[in-house]
Chains A and B, each alone.
Chain A
């Protein structure tokens, strides 16, 4: 969108909402009007929570805490200002500006609390994270109960309804902020950089392996989610039908209500959340007639929903208006020239690397020098330590001893995502694709760390961001085309046949424009035809693209067929090294792994370790 188009659209939205506001004020009775505002507020809560839980996959059971922070911060400030400068209430323009300011303040304070909650809880997963956030939510509430300055248990009364003037009602604020929340989060998750959120949800390890700084994005999700929850809190506190908050308003039940909205709508579906927020706000009112059975019905509904349709009303379905335009691709240049700092052409250097887990030494004194353009095979029985070598190179583990160098960069003390960014790409033994994402998105994910725009420009739909997105998409499609996957680029990765999934993983790794590619048993589970195809592909990557490859394989045909050099491991140590022919004849290798010399056809593991 051009800059002017965006501004125009924003202005048009503002005016349209204002008309709707006036119309509602005239035609709707106060009860319905109040409900409408509640829907808007709940919408903001649910959407912001969806970012954290639905998109980023972080269980957050304390969302009400963020709402509380925003509500209290904004309301306390409003009260104080009006008490000290009563003239504010008289002048509409000033009144509205102050309201905007206090609401923003509420959002910012909530965002800070999101930071405080997000940072320490990063390392926690799943259930533990859920409980930690629950704990934080309760602690925030208990803190407010004990804070006498904001009324303690009695709460804040007489909050001035700053959002209401003669021409503007509180509803306009709610509608506008709800629209902003929707827009911002929509833009955030749909842009290429935003794919990171879902990658984290799908597979954090894989996300890190393609250069995504998972810490940053998790914290960002919390901060942004908390911000909008805080804004929702402020809007709730200043609502002319409320104007009173106490800590009980933000009990655990409130967090549950928000979660239910996200779940019922479908996690990861913004449209679903919108609908669910509306429906679930209105539901208690619909059920008024059955009085005491209301909550019972609500809980039964919840259980039935989970049993019958856990993906929510809409699952991951999203209302999109993506123009299906034809994507032209740019051809990939072969033989990318790479300048190396080292003179001897060594691109990956492992020196005396040892990896010890407690008493178990998985890798002992490993050394390896990969030269630029080499295709080296790493073989050995199961449990020999081959994948562990991959893991210490890519930063999944920090080696107990030794050094790892990528050209002139030292790798062994770096974080996973940094190593990926430096140019080390890998695939996994048991395929770690982002299953729920489309084929195209899986590849786009590799561009997250080098997308050349900020989130702000994505939100504002600045032209250069749009251009960058198109460029990225072109590159991705080109890559997919190369591997014959572009036909299915909008399908979910989990729906691909096994062979295609393996290839997709390789495409994703290639999208990093890596200096070194580590392939972990890429032909596992493939039939001979597929294996042959993949073999040729790898060879092509190595010869025509000049890509340096380290390959773990059990299929001897592949190893002997394309590797220039082979390293053999057993019990964590290198037992032999040399050309394929040399190691084929090496008695140690035969004893440990290959078995009696045959025309090395089978990929059998002769010795389990």
Chain B
């Protein structure tokens, strides 16, 4: 190698590692949100929704348009943010429900591969359709108030910025909300019932279609929130932006145990941290981290860190 090797004589000072830790947690919280949505859908439908990553993108764009709308400028800052988030989340919830109704429900009883391919088709449609409708150029002109990163806390050279706190706080809030919904409400109970056994749930009078639609709505709303957070943290959006985060979040969900909600969150944080630290030491291998983790988990503990095994009844 002609150049100075990128590792070796770099010793990590504690400040450096603390900074990376903060970065990793912020990244991880976004992955956790997306992974949660994946896991929820997989839980009820046993479907890997490839289009989930693209819903992130739609959320980001909806948020972008709302943020740039003239009347948004008139509102005070906290209200503006709320507007952007809620608008994006509602829009994507509707989109998620629509996709489920049109593309996934008709094939609910088909073999899994059919559903997988359909999901891929929906994903491609969102991506290329997005390119046609929104233009392929990435947009970097997000409003200042949305993307500015002012340091709020400083410990020496380590900085925590306002947007990072917002992302982390927002994610934790949403995750707590999810926990409440899933474990403390009727609809949550219904969702869990459906994820255990769809037919049995149907037989005890649960409106399975409605529950599944709700699940998609919630999962998509989470993805939308993640999309807006990504736009805030990395102010560049384009129709293909959801691909990579989608795949990585999926890895996170598998890492935690797909179908297991706390697992998805754990997986998200683990992946975020791993990526950040590997990115520091060996930046060329950063993307490979996600896939390497995937392979390792699938080989040694396919049910994930927190998942439970499924015993096949003979």
Contacts and interface: CB of A to CB of B under 8 A. Distances in A.
Q: Do chains A and B touch in the complex (CB under 8 A)?
A: yes
A130 interface: yes
B181 interface: no
B131 interface: yes
Contacts of B314: 205, 387, 391, 396, 428
Interface stretch (A136-144, A277-285, A492-500): A136-144
Interface in B212-236: none
Interface stretch (B78-86, B117-125, B138-146): B117-125
A292 B116 contact: no
A295 B110 CA distance: 25
Contacts of A300: 121, 125
Interface footprint category on A = 35 or more
Contact of B292 (A139, A307, A396): A139
Contacts of A296: 125, 128-129, 132
Nearest to B303: A128
Contact of A130 (B103, B116, B299, B302): B116
Interface string B71-94: 000000000000000000000000
Contacts of A136: 295
Contacts of A256: 120
Of B110, B111, B120, most A-chain CB atoms within 10 Å: B120
B128 A120 contact: no
A142 B288 CA distance: 7
A131 B250 contact: yes
Nearest to B47: A127
Interface in A126-153: 126-128, 130-132, 135-136, 138-139, 142, 146
B246 to A, nearest CB: 12
Contact of B291 (A53, A124, A139, A310): A139
B121 to A, nearest CB: 4
B107 A132 contact: no
A293 B48 contact: no
Nearest to B126: A299
B3 to A, nearest CB: 13
B69 interface: no
A303 B291 contact: no
Main secondary structure of the interface of A (DSSP, over half): helix
A227 interface: no
A302 B127 CA distance: 14
Given A259-B117, A292-B131, A307-B103, A299 B312 contact: no
A135 B295 contact: yes
A458 B314 CA distance: 34
Interface string A491-513: 00000000000000000000000
A127 B304 CA distance: 14
Contacts of A127: 42, 46, 48, 112, 116, 258
Interface in A502-560: none
Nearest to B125: A299
A308 to B, nearest CB: 9
A325 interface: no
B103 A292 contact: no
A132 B116 contact: no
Interface string B29-58: 000000000000010001010000000000
B270 interface: no
B298 A121 contact: yes
Interface in A282-332: 292-293, 295-296, 298-300, 302-303, 306-307, 310
A130 B287 CA distance: 19
A121 B111 CA distance: 21
Of A53, A139, A295, A303, most B-chain CB atoms within 10 Å: A303
B298 A299 contact: no
A59 B113 contact: yes
A130 B42 CA distance: 14
Nearest to B1: A148
Contact of A302 (B117, B132, B292): B117
Of B123, B124, B285, B287, most A-chain CB atoms within 10 Å: B124
Interface string A352-368: 00000100000000000
Contacts of A146: 284-285
Contact of B128 (A263, A299, A428): A299
B241 interface: no
B211 interface: no
Given A127-B46, A306-B114, A307-B107, A299 B124 contact: yes
A298 B110 CA distance: 22
Of B121, B251, B294, most A-chain CB atoms within 10 Å: B121
Nearest to A304: B121
A472 B120 CA distance: 43
A131 B124 contact: no
B284 A124 contact: no
A390 to B, nearest CB: 8
A46 to B, nearest CB: 14
Given A127-B48, A131-B250, A263-B117, A303 B125 contact: yes
A306 B298 contact: no
Given A128-B302, A292-B132, A310-B114, A139 B295 contact: yes
Of A120, A256, A293, A296, most B-chain CB atoms within 10 Å: A296
A307 B118 contact: yes
A136 B298 CA distance: 11
A135 B295 CA distance: 6
B191 interface: no
Of B254, B298, B302, most A-chain CB atoms within 10 Å: B298
B205 interface: no
Contacts of B284: 146
A391 B311 CA distance: 14
Interface in B225-274: 250-251, 254, 258
B107 A306 contact: yes
Of B110, B123, B302, most A-chain CB atoms within 10 Å: B302
Nearest to B114: A310
Contacts of A139: 288, 291-292, 295
B5 interface: no
B14 interface: no
A279 B294 CA distance: 35
A205 B312 CA distance: 10
A210 interface: no
B106 interface: yes
A120 B299 contact: yes
B112 A126 contact: yes
A84 interface: no
Contacts of A128: 254, 298, 302
Contacts of A124: 298, 302
A123 interface: yes
A387 B48 CA distance: 34
Interface in A252-287: 256, 259-260, 263, 267
Contact of A303 (B118, B294, B295, B302): B118
B118 A130 contact: no
Contacts of B112: 126-127
Interface of B: 42, 46, 48, 103, 106-107, 110-114, 116-118, 120-125, 128-129, 131-132, 250-251, 254, 258, 284-285, 287-288, 291-292, 294-295, 298-299, 302, 311-312, 314
10 contacts: A132-B298, A132-B299, A135-B295, A142-B291, A300-B121, A302-B118, A303-B118, A306-B121, A307-B118, A310-B111
Q: What 9 A-B pairs have minimum CB-CB distances, sorted nearest first?
A: A302-B121, A299-B124, A295-B128, A303-B121, A299-B125, A306-B118, A135-B294, A310-B114, A132-B298
Given A142-B288, A260-B117, 19 more contacts: A123-B302, A124-B302, A127-B116, A128-B298, A130-B48, A130-B116, A132-B298, A132-B299, A136-B295, A139-B288, A139-B291, A142-B285, A295-B131, A298-B128, A299-B123, A299-B129, A307-B106, A310-B114, A387-B314
